[in-house]
Structure 1
Amino acid sequence: MTQIRTETDRQATMAQWDAQQRAVASGILRDIAPLQADDLVLTGSETAWLPTGCSVKKGQHFSVSSTGANIVDRDHAVIIQPKYALWVRIGGHGPIRKIIFEKETVFCAWADGEVEAFTKALSLWADMDGAILPGPRDVSEGGIGVSVRLTDAPETNIQPPEHWAFMDIFGEVTIFSGSGTDISVDTHDGDCCILETPVDIPLNDRTRLSWSWLVDKLPSELPEDLVLTHDYISVAVRFDNGRDLTYMWSKELPADYHFACPLPWWCDRETHWIVESGTAKLGLWQDAVRPVASDYRKAIGDPLPGRVVAVWLIANSVFQRIGGKARFRNIRLSEDGTDRTVTAGSGLRCYSIG
């Protein structure tokens, strides 16, 4: 089952986090772009999408510019930037789209109607029509400013590595690059995304997940098992029961330590497993092979899911804003002792050898 550190350990981590964040808070807050007089300002407490005053026809280009941030905790510079939280839709319904660049993101209108804006803050989407899961929507200090206008500028277009896709609830980001089988991750201040590729393989005692990774920089100096320190880079597998198991590298948590995700909603779905610990191997290629079924039983328990349905690459630097950098190669799922294998990024749901 999942492991839990002692309350003393957790308090020590929070004391380290407090000192770390207070030391950098003034610089982070100083870099927030000031709100403009004509901005539509979103506080993060909204429960309904707000009209922006800009109406579009399908095929027209419109730009979304943003300023400010939702300041959750000023003393510790816990902020939610527009590039993570600001979404738009057209005509009162989905699909919804996240901005990519705060200065300006240009969209090609996918419907007729008025452009609406919403800041997700720390909420989670219930669907891609724009409803959010139940939970608190507190007013944040500051605010995210939004300005929308028609434009002739070309559409902002970010492509994920071949055969991978941005998970729709996180939207498009600029932090992943490379080919489908050699992917670089470079998180910046306040980034969060999951890159995914579908697979379809039975989960049994022969199932193995293997990969090579070179981690140059970890996005957390502190144990990642608390909400405010939960910045990390990982490779993960998702199962047909809706749960997922993510494999991480941690500076402080020991190898084989495993824990339920500390974030609301995700805590019932996601479990983290530390594969590498410390900093001695940073900057060096490392190979990893995991017995997925055995890890699942130890970290989550029985019953075992029937199938693995997706492979994920996860990168988060929202909370501490340190950023991280890594490369992944040869991510592979296989059933040892058989001729069945599935290679993440291959674009194939099943590939038979021989």
Structure 2
Amino acid sequence: MPGIINDLTVAGTLFLRASARKLLSKNNPEPDLDKYSTAMQSLLDQTPEGLIKDYEWLDLPGNRPPWMASGINLKTGDEISCFMDGRVFASKPLDIWLGLALQVWYKVGDGDIFRGTHSSHSFVAKESGPLQFGNYFPNDWENLQGERQQDDKIYQSSRGMSRILIIRWHKPAVECLREMLSLGDFEGRLKSEINRIDIGDTTPKGWSYLWNIGQSNIFRKQSSGTADDCIHCQTQGDTGILQKEVDMILDEQTEISWKWCVDQLPSTLREDTVPSHDYLSIAIEFDNGRDITYYWSSTLPVGTGYDCPLPNWKGKEYHVVIRSGKEGLGEWKEERRNLFEDYKQYMGEPPARVVRVWLIANSAFQRNKGDCKYAHIVLHNAQSLKVL
């Protein structure tokens, strides 16, 4: 009963907030797909010969399960740019929707699924085959081939649509985009995609993103006045899990320590319900497939522990609040946790080994900004020490 009450309380708060934004005309308006299509088509029509090999428009309904053919069959080495607009609602009354970079995934032939980091994405085809698109939320991926964990009927709860423009170029995408930009732009979309390509992959060296959440540009290596080689996390309306392999025996002395500076929390509500589950954390994965994640809560008391409220993560991830409230935000804090004791206290009999350290950022539900820096991450037990 307490869990249901919390869910209803949070949902009620979000409904009131959404209603107030609507009354005050402060809601992020739904995209005008006709305006988007007309403007982008005008740019296509002006493009000189020799730049675009072919292009297609695709409407992807939010309630359609993966996968949907685009009408373009790619060959290995083809350079593609995709531009998307639209909105897919998980809950329209609560104004909960995912950004298209997270919602819409790609698949070429029999290759692995992937997503972009923005609502535009350029890539080189690694395989030959039909280019397909698929909705991610509210399901989750079972494997890299794009099979789903839950029955596809779950998509029936989604509302909205994504409109996708797929362009196949004659030359490298960035060159073609620059030429196209000389003819004009629409809402800075071409310029934004060129900048994204120029910046490149921001993933810190030695780390990788969890495959089923997908690549992101949330995390990057950065120097700081108080901590060299910190990992800076900035998120808004996105999610990402950064991982690093460690493989260490879990004994009674196994500890993790780190420094972090949390400048802004992505939630103003308790984070233990689905529609408010936005947070920043550091987590440890064990060899039994479970993980414990330590985070700074906006409202929940220090020491609070709970199983992840997201259906696909229940029984896998356990959340522990180690700091709470606004006091100390913007300051570097040092943390130290005994993993053996925490697992025993919150999750039961400890497993044999630690296998990965994670950095987690989620701001997909409330779409608020989250900002945090991590440094001096150290894992040690009775026999060894690893500096991440």
Per the normalisation by structure 1, the TM-score is 0.89
> Secondary structure of the equivalent of 2:62?
coil
Does residue 342 of structure 1 match 2:341?
Answer: no
Alignment match of 2:156 (pick from 104, 118, 138) = 138
Cα distance change on mapping 1:61 and 1:177 into 2, 3 Å: same
Task: Evaluate the alpha carbon distance shift between residue 48 and residue 277 of structure 1 in structure 2; reply closer, same or farther with a 3 A threshold.
Answer: closer
Say if 2:111 and 2:127, in contact at 8 Å, map to a contact too: no
Offset of residue 51 of structure 1: 1.1
Q: How much does 1:46 deviate?
A: 2.6
Cα 1:176–1:109 change in 2 (3 A) is: same
Structure 1 residues 230-264: Cα deviation after superposition (integer angstroms, max 9, x where no partner): 00000000000000000000010011100000001
| Counterpart in the other structure of 1:165 | 208
| Other-structure match for 1:198 | 245
SS at match of 1:30: coil
Q: Whole-Å Cα distance in 1 between the matches of residues 105 and 3 of structure 2?
A: 39
Contact 2:264–2:329 under 8 Å retained in 1: yes
The aligned counterpart of 2:14 is 17
Q: Which runs of 5+ in 1 are unaligned?
A: 345-354
- TM-superposition CA deviations, 1:148-176 (whole Å, max 9, x none): 12123139442301111111111211211
Structure 2 residue runs of 5 or longer lacking an equivalent are 39-55, 175-193, 223-227
SS at structure 1 position matched to 2:140: coil
Task: Give, as a single letter, the amino acid of the residue that structure 2 aligns with 1:109.
Answer: A
Whole-Å separation in 2 of the counterparts to 1:39 and 1:27: 31
Aligned residue for 2:265?
A: 218
Q: Does 1:100 align with 2:117?
A: yes
5 Å-filtered alignment, 1:13-162, equals 13-24=10-21, 27-30=26-29, 32=31, 34=33, 36=37, 39-91=57-109, 93-102=110-119, 104-135=120-151, 136-138=154-156, 140-151=158-169, 152-154=172-174, 156=197, 157-162=200-205
Q: 1:44 to 1:10 in 2, by over 3 A?
A: closer
2:173 is paired with a residue whose SS is coil
Cα distance per residue 1:112-165 (max 9 Å; x no partner): 122111111221100011111124121532211122121231394423011111
In structure 1, C-alpha distance between the alignment counterparts of 2:135 and 2:255, rounded to whole Å: 39
**Larger CA Rg, structure 1 vs 2:** 2
Query: Could you say if the C-alpha distance between residues 289 and 108 of structure 1 is closer, same or farther in structure 2, counting changes exceeding 3 Å?
Result: same
Q: Does 1:300 align with 2:297?
A: no
- Name 1:184's counterpart in structure 2: 232
SS in structure 1 at match of 2:112 = strand
> 1:7, CA displacement in angstroms?
5.2
| 1:268 paired residue number | 315
TM-score normalised according to structure 2 size = 0.81
2:4 and 2:108 map into 1 onto residues whose CA distance is 47
CA distance 1:31–1:215, change in 2 (3 Å) = farther
Secondary structure class of the residue paired with 1:211 = strand
Structure 1 partner of 2:373:
327
**CA-CA distance at 1:8 after TM superposition:** 4.7
Q: CA RMSD in A?
A: 2.1
Identity of aligned residues (%): 30
More helix by share: 2
Q: 2:113 corresponds to which letter in structure 1? A: I
